[in-house]
Amino acid sequence: MDNKLWKIGFFTGLTSFVLLILGVRTVLGQELEWKNYLAFGIFGLIVGVFSSLLLFYKLKIAFRIFIIAVALGFVELFRSFLMNTGGFGDLAGILSLFIISSFGLGIAFMVQAVVMVTRKNK
């Protein structure tokens, strides 16, 4: 795999990992256990691997949509943490990050498929 793709995947995965820790530990003020770090690391690894694979297979449009979806997921995570102090803000924030990221990946694949089919037919 190209060295540049590895660096992009590592950066996106590490950024996701750090943002999750920053959000839960700093914004929410929760004490984290090793299971939390493991879960955040796995999520960061998944985001990093998907971003590297999208670029490896030259799916640039899908990569951009996926990164935007992950960024929107983190925006919703922090918004939910900061605005919803009623008790369910932490759960809603984490779930919205996972759901938005998953839908973003699905939409990215669909848009990329449509673009590939239309380019092939021209």
The set of residues, in sequence order, having a beta carbon less than 8 Å from that of 104 and lying 6+ positions away, is 65, 66, 68, 69, 70, 72, 73
pTM surpassing 0.85? yes
Phi-psi region of 58 (alpha: psi -120 to 50; beta: other; left: phi over 0): left
Q: How confident is the model at residue 30 (pLDDT cuts 50, 70, 90)?
A: confident
**Torsion angle, alpha carbons of 90, 93, 98, 99, to 10:** 130
Average pLDDT, the chain: 91
Q: How confident is the model at residue 1 (pLDDT cuts 50, 70, 90)?
A: low
Which pLDDT does position 88 carry in this prediction? 80
pLDDT in tens, 63-109: 999 999 999 999 999 999 888 767 787 888 899 999 999 999 999 99
Cβ burial 41-54 (10 Å sphere, 16+ → b, else e): bebbbebbebbbeb
